[in-house]
Amino acid sequence: MTLRTLFGGTVIACACVLASCSSNDVPKPMGDASLAASDGAVLDSGTDAGNVTHFPDGSLLIGDATVLGCGGSSIAAAPRTANVLLVIDESGSMLDKPSGFTTDKWAALKSALGGALTAAQDSVAFGLELFPYPFDPKKPIASTCSTNCCEMPAAPGINVPVAPGAANVSKIVALLNASAPGGGTPTAMALQRAYDYFETGAGAALKGDKYVLLATDGGPNCNAQLSCAATSCTTNLDGDCTLTGGGNCCDAMFGGSIAKSRCLDDTATEAAITKLGGKHIQTFVVGIPGSEIYKTSLDSFAQAGGELSPTGTTKYFAVSAAGGVAGLSTVLDAITKNLITTCRLQLGTVPPNPDQLNLFLDGKLVKQSGANGWMLDRTMSPPTIVVLGTTCTTLETKGASSVRVLYGCPTVQ
């Protein structure tokens, strides 16, 4: 049975030795060419048939028991649950149809999200927060609103709470299908609601890792306390200002608080993402076509969120208009698949000394140091082993018949 099969719901037992060893007892593999690996590659430890590993001192690793002079005990390790709150822009501009799209952005987002969520529903728990969203769902915000452009529902304001399984994904899809874009872009307010949900609301009881996936097609606004020049007015930046002579559509004289609420609210938005990060809640930032003018802000948001795009010229996950709906689906699939990882193994108990852990995959020692080694995430309790680089890729794609964490000997770097 491969590790991937085991992760389908069965806890993985990791042999962990709970007595201490001296530095002379650090397990070192038998010599061959693979010992030259210096960046965390899996080291060949001379595994015989029957999953028996020989070390230079004659000690063995057999099944779930160790004979390393360190005693013998075991704890459980399993991948952590991923809880994702989708914070989705439902502003009026989502009704636009970019070049390269066969539908408007809202229809494209619904289609792409439906596929990505369904594919991941057995491994990731999802929830939904739309912004803006009317106080009364029976009185939707008009696409060309004048008075209620920035409405958000009464706190906690989470449309569909985070929960696992197909039933919850069906609720999310149903609400998306029942909603229609309209209004401004109260991003900072929506992110503050996400923070409240995870920290003091029902989301505080969720077990596992917590994430926000922010998908937006424009710059954040809806802060009537701001004043700004035309260069920071989203109406001007979006090319929607109809004033002659290059006027400022966010100037108070052209509409009071409603016009001022169109000032770019990037500072408060980044602060909200940073606040989430301070509670170990990372944020994926997805820029839908139409958001390109706000690249600098979105890059800053992604940097604050801690989840950077591995490709392209942006730090955020940019969706190209040329890619159409398929491009949006690709981005969302990549993010959700990244959350379904066998490379985060939470220990069942807190080890007395985190510097005396050693990781074995299929009986082979994985050095901790280097881009392809592993790290210990001590922000979690119990801590989590995070497998890195090509070692992680191999683990995810090929699986492993055994995973063992030995405790009691200094970590091999």
Residue-wise pLDDT for 162-195, tens only, equals: 999 999 999 999 999 999 999 999 999 999 999 9
What is the structure's pLDDT at 321? 80
Per-position b or e across 354-371, b if 16+ CB within 10 A of its CB? eebbbbbbbbbbbbbebe
Categorize the per-residue pLDDT at 254 as very low, low, confident or very high, splitting at 50, 70 and 90. Answer: low
Pairing of strands 209-216, 281-287: parallel
CA neighbours within 13 Å on the CB side: how many for 4?
A: 10
What is the structure's pLDDT at 410? 83
* pLDDT-above-70 percentage for the chain: 77
What is the structure's pLDDT at 188? 98
CA neighbours within 13 Å on the CB side: how many for 264?
A: 22
- Tell me the H-state helices in 206-320: 234-237, 256-260, 266-277, 295-305
Categorize the per-residue pLDDT at 333 as very low, low, confident or very high, splitting at 50, 70 and 90. Answer: confident
Q: Span 329-348, mean pLDDT?
A: 81
Q: What is the 3-state secondary structure (H, E, C) of 371-389?
A: CCCEEEECCCCCCEEEECH
In Å, how far are 291, 333, 369 from 406, measured between CA atoms? 48, 35, 16
- 346 forms bridges with which residues in the sheet? 78, 384
Residue-wise pLDDT for 203-230, tens only, equals: 999 988 899 999 999 999 999 899 999 9
What is the structure's pLDDT at 382? 86
Q: Which long-range contacts (CB under 8 A, 24 or more apart) does 306-313 make?
A: 306/277, 306/282, 307/211, 307/282, 307/283, 307/335
Question: Does residue 247 surpass a pLDDT of 90?
Answer: no
* Contacts with 49 (C-beta within 8 Å, 6 or more apart), sequence order: none
Can you tell me whether residue 281 is helix, strand or coil?
strand
User: What is the DSSP-derived secondary structure letter of residue 323?
Assistant: G
Share the mean pLDDT of the chain.
Answer: 79
Burial of 28 (0-12, 13-18, 19+ CB in 10 A): middle
Q: Span 377-400, mean pLDDT?
A: 83
* pLDDT-above-90 percentage for the chain: 45
What is the structure's pLDDT at 339? 78
Question: Does residue 56 surpass a pLDDT of 50?
Answer: no
Q: Span 130-148, mean pLDDT?
A: 86
Categorize the per-residue pLDDT at 15 as very low, low, confident or very high, splitting at 50, 70 and 90. Answer: very low
Lowest pLDDT segment from 18-32, 248-262, 303-317, 368-382: 18-32
- Tell me the H-state helices in 209-360: 234-237, 256-260, 266-277, 295-305, 324-339
Q: Rounded distance, CA 221 to CA 185, Å? A: 5
For CA atoms 61, 397, 10, 353, give the dihedral sign. Answer: positive
| pTM, rounded to two decimals | 0.72
Q: Span 95-102, mean pLDDT?
A: 87
Q: Which of 358, 364, 359, 360 is nearest to 47 (CA)?
A: 364
Categorize the per-residue pLDDT at 256 as very low, low, confident or very high, splitting at 50, 70 and 90. Answer: low
In Å, how far are 131, 219, 393 from 12, measured between CA atoms? 40, 45, 19
Pairing of strands 82-89, 209-216: parallel
Question: Does residue 320 surpass a pLDDT of 90?
Answer: no
In Å, how far are 49, 58, 278, 412 from 63, measured between CA atoms? 12, 16, 41, 21
In Å, how far are 205, 207, 353, 357 from 350, measured between CA atoms? 21, 17, 9, 11
Residue-wise pLDDT for 353-369, tens only, equals: 888 888 888 778 889 99
Domains of the chain, with CATH numbers? 3-79+342-407 (no CATH), 82-223+265-339 (3.40.50.410)
* Alpha carbon 23 to chain centroid, angstroms: 38
What is the structure's pLDDT at 163? 96
Categorize the per-residue pLDDT at 14 as very low, low, confident or very high, splitting at 50, 70 and 90. Answer: very low
Which strand ranges, in their side-by-side order, compose the sheet holding 357-361?
Answer: 42-43, 364-366, 357-361, 403-407
What is the structure's pLDDT at 3? 32
DSSP sequence for 147-173:
S-TT--PSTT--SEEEE-SHHHHHHHH
Pairing of strands 52-54, 47-48: antiparallel
